[in-house]
Chain A
Amino acid sequence: MAKVKIASTWLEACSGCHMSLLDMDERIVELIQAGVEFTSTPITDLKHPPEEGVDIGIIEGAIGTDLHEEEAKHLRKKCKILIAIGDCAVFGGIVTMRNYFSREEVLTRGYLETESTKDGKIPTSDELGKLLPKVKAVKDIVKVDFYIPGCPPPADSIYTALKELLGGRVPVLKGDLLKYD
């Protein structure tokens, strides 16, 4: 049976959605037995999707820096179906709170002015992504094929979606599987 390869990544997010993915528990084994192969994911600790590409790409988190933008575009290129999971990836989510302030205000507050900061410094290394003026949802940067909202999405939603895709159907999330909080 041909393997269905999955690559996932997290961008501007809290990792909660990947926790929810792990929360599928023994059903992860079931998915693997059904032919799923997890390639590059934060869980397998592989950074880049395989050269030959994957079937399903999963993005958790919003697009907050130029690095996130690049990663999202790269994964889009490497996958056939792209899923945005969690409110940050789907809507922009909680991280869009910073959209109400300028980049300078956010960095100053975060690195210099928090009550516990002493002699703070705004990091400037080239290795770090640069904040975009506004946080965006993944769909604002690349085409997204399927959405699983939730903060975090229930493990059942992720499982149902993957199971439906494996069966060659378009998943429809309804009832308890569709939630925004």
Chain B
Amino acid sequence: MEKLFLKINGNEIEVEPGLTVLQVAKSFGIDIPTLCHHDQLSPIGACRLCVVETKQGTLQPACTLPATQGLEVETESPRVVEARKFILNLLFAERNHYCMFCEASGDCELQNMGYRYGIDHFAFSPYQTKFPTDFSHKYILLEHNRCILCRRCIRACSDLAGHYVLGMVNRGAHTMLSPDMESPLKASSCVSCGACAQVCPTGSLADKIGAFRGKADEMTKTKSVCANCSVGCGILAFTKANHLIKIWGEWESPVNHGILCELGRFSPLNEKRKRVLQPIIRQEGRREVISYQDAIKKATQKLKEAKNPGGIISPKTTNEALEAFNILFSTSLQSKNTGLMESYNEKAVKLSADGCLEDILIANAVVLYKVDPSTSHGVVASWVKKAVTKGAYLYIVTDEENSLSFYATETFKTSEADKLVNTLENSKKVVVILNPQVESADLEILKKVKAVFLPLYKSANSLGAIKKGLNGFFEKSDVALIVASDFSGDGNLLASLQDVSYLIVISNFVSPLTERANLIIPSATWLETSGTFTNLEGKTQDVSSIMEAPEGVKTDKAIIEDFMKALG
């Protein structure tokens, strides 16, 4: 394609067509200040802070100005600087921008711009009108007094996350950010994905748990992968003195592109379950704390003496721990009696050859087969909403209520699932999102559909475990080892342990399962573990330890390896 030649600050630059002046400037290391612009969002030129002066003497916002042949711009000319100061003064005057009692002070982009342009006082007296604050939401606080109406949150909510909850109401100085046309945030259709709080440049939208707990600069930031479902979203965790302060979606993650769901962003911050901190043995009806070495000795001795040692592992532990677990049983204990805390239809697993989440976004038709991703796999629900907004048809097969039925073209009862085949006959790109626990009869129908299949496994490493031959509980065992991670053990699991005379549980938290155990060994949570998870697409991604485990608490992998050492 034809190259473009333009001049920025007098320097001739050669670029590809199709870029904005801001993008060009950035690629050449020229710093143009921005406020309403965000790299992940489409530019709208709302704040005008990025204005540049053209040869013709006009001021144009760099974020929306296309780079064209022969364009000449100045990025810090006296007129530009004067205009930017004027804009900042208008923004500072509009609402409450007193930094000393603001949550965002230190991280605020408006404040940084004030510093950059030497705003040492407000040129115009502030408007001194009290705007409402909306503290109704469980996780997100909405402080209208700090809002600069940049609309980043609106673009993130709609364009990135597909939820379309936020919008603007009224005009001029009365313009207000508003969820669902003047509904309190709590009562709105907000699904608590928190994308709005992540992109807010000021202290207008923040997550309640992380608010007022320090500046981002003073926190440790760790990239990792969320373990709350099988999507495997990239996260950026902020910690301070080994406390988890907040979680952001990782923009660079190829899986979620920065978007998270309620589970991913907020549930780890809200963790209230009681940790297991020391090994505990139960004998003659009494519970006693024992040393870690004694616990390993006791556990391995019991497993060695067992007639039929069995093991069940959690699909929330790393691939490395799963491998160690398999070696422990196959080599050290010579037992094939292993299983997983979840069970899936192997045929459903095989159905998905090379489906990936991106396929949802380019699909002409999406099918939700006996699955409702909204609460369990929030980002999948986000992607489905985005696909529908782009024009894809959504078909839901369910006998229950589905939170996405509002978006559905048609909903089928499970008894009429075979109607799908005809309905989808003429669709080019079909994505079937299914529950991998479906019956084989369902699969007979689905086989007839030409589609990409995405089974929504429950846990972060379910697929990793299935690939290692772990699926479903063991048959029967007298001495059993359960690597539980944060699983509490449901009725089915507890029932399957009826014949177990000695139960060893490696667990993060106190649970019905640890109550049933004869020997409990504490383990590190996924936040405290490094390794890899395999997500539902089959991508194996690195998990980094975000926090340090409590003293003496080891990871699943380290504990299993200690078992192997003790067994020799």
Give me the interface of A with B, judged by CB distance under 8 Å: 84, 87, 90-94, 96-97, 99-100, 134, 136-137, 139-140, 144, 147-149, 151, 172-174, 178-181
Q: Give the chain A neighbours of B101 by CB distance below 8 A.
A: 94, 97
Q: A84-B121, A94-B98 are in contact. Are A178 and B128 (CB under 8 A)?
A: no
Interface string of B81-102 (1 = CB under 8 A from A): 0000000000000001011111
Q: In the assembly, what is the distance between CA of A173 and CA of B115, in Å?
A: 9
Interface contact B120-A178, CB-CB below 8 Å: yes
Interface contact A96-B118, CB-CB below 8 Å: no
Interface contact A181-B100, CB-CB below 8 Å: yes
Q: In the assembly, what is the distance between CA of A106 and CA of B255, in Å?
A: 52
Q: Give the chain A neighbours of B100 by CB distance below 8 A.
A: 87, 93-94, 151, 180-181
Q: In the assembly, what is the distance between CA of A165 and CA of B106, in Å?
A: 29
B114 close to chain A: CB less than 8 A = yes
Q: Give the chain B neighbours of A173 by CB distance below 8 A.
A: 118, 120
Which of A92, A139, A144 contacts B98, CB < 8 Å?
Answer: A92
Nearest residue, chain A, Cβ from B105: A181
Q: Give the chain A neighbours of B115 by CB distance below 8 A.
A: 178-180
Shortest A33–chain B CB gap in Å is 28
Q: Tell me which residues from 97 to 138 in chain B have a Cβ below 8 Å from any Cβ of chain A.
A: 98-102, 105-106, 111, 114-115, 118, 120-122, 125-126, 128, 130
Which of B111, B118, B125, B130 contacts A180, CB < 8 Å?
Answer: B111
Nearest residue, chain B, Cβ from A84: B121
Q: Give the chain A neighbours of B122 by CB distance below 8 A.
A: 91, 137
Interface contact B99-A134, CB-CB below 8 Å: no
Nearest residue, chain A, Cβ from B96: A96
Interface contact A90-B121, CB-CB below 8 Å: yes
Nearest residue, chain A, Cβ from B130: A100
Q: Give the chain A neighbours of B128 by CB distance below 8 A.
A: 96, 99-100, 134
Count contacts on B: residues with CB < 8 A to the other chain.
19
Q: In the assembly, what is the distance between CA of A137 and CA of B99, in Å?
A: 15
Nearest residue, chain A, Cβ from B99: A180
Which of B105, B106, B120, B125 contacts A149, CB < 8 Å?
Answer: B120
Give me the interface of B with A, judged by CB distance under 8 Å: 96, 98-102, 105-106, 111, 114-115, 118, 120-122, 125-126, 128, 130
Q: A180-B100, A181-B105 are in contact. Are A140 and B125 (CB under 8 A)?
A: yes
Shortest A113–chain B CB gap in Å is 19
Shortest A87–chain B CB gap in Å is 6
Q: Give the chain B neighbours of A180 by CB distance below 8 A.
A: 98-100, 105, 111, 114-115
Q: A136-B125, A180-B111 are in contact. Are A87 and B98 (CB under 8 A)?
A: yes
Known: A149-B120, A173-B118. 11 other contacts (CB 8 A): A87-B100, A92-B125, A96-B98, A139-B121, A148-B120, A151-B99, A172-B118, A178-B120, A180-B100, A180-B105, A180-B111
Q: In the assembly, what is the distance between CA of A173 and CA of B114, in Å?
A: 12
Which of A90, A134, A140 contacts B120, CB < 8 Å?
Answer: A90
Shortest B80–chain A CB gap in Å is 19
**16 residue pairs from A and B, CB less than 8 Å apart:** A84-B121, A91-B121, A91-B122, A91-B126, A92-B98, A93-B98, A93-B100, A96-B96, A99-B128, A137-B125, A149-B121, A173-B118, A173-B120, A180-B105, A180-B115, A181-B111
Q: Give the chain B neighbours of A139 by CB distance below 8 A.
A: 121
Q: Give the chain A neighbours of B96 by CB distance below 8 A.
A: 96
Q: Give the chain B neighbours of A181 by CB distance below 8 A.
A: 99-100, 102, 105-106, 111
Q: Give the chain A neighbours of B121 by CB distance below 8 A.
A: 84, 90-91, 137, 139, 144, 147, 149
Shortest B277–chain A CB gap in Å is 39
Q: A179-B115, A180-B114 are in contact. Are A147 and B120 (CB under 8 A)?
A: yes
Nearest residue, chain B, Cβ from A146: B120
Q: Give the chain B neighbours of A87 by CB distance below 8 A.
A: 98-100
Interface contact A174-B98, CB-CB below 8 Å: no
Q: In the assembly, what is the distance between CA of A97 and CA of B145, in Å?
A: 12
Q: In the assembly, what is the distance between CA of A155 and CA of B130, in Å?
A: 33
Q: Give the chain B neighbours of A179 by CB distance below 8 A.
A: 115
Q: Give the chain B neighbours of A149 by CB distance below 8 A.
A: 120-121
Shortest A137–chain B CB gap in Å is 7
Q: In the assembly, what is the distance between CA of A84 and CA of B120, in Å?
A: 10
Q: Give the chain A neighbours of B120 by CB distance below 8 A.
A: 90, 147-149, 173, 178
Nearest residue, chain B, Cβ from A101: B130
Q: Give the chain A neighbours of B125 by CB distance below 8 A.
A: 92, 136-137, 140
Q: In the assembly, what is the distance between CA of A96 and CA of B95, in Å?
A: 12
Q: In the assembly, what is the distance between CA of A10 and CA of B114, in Å?
A: 26
Interface contact B98-A91, CB-CB below 8 Å: yes
Q: Give the chain B neighbours of A84 by CB distance below 8 A.
A: 121
Q: In the assembly, what is the distance between CA of A115 and CA of B326, in Å?
A: 63
Q: In the assembly, what is the distance between CA of A172 and CA of B96, in Å?
A: 26
Nearest residue, chain A, Cβ from B128: A99
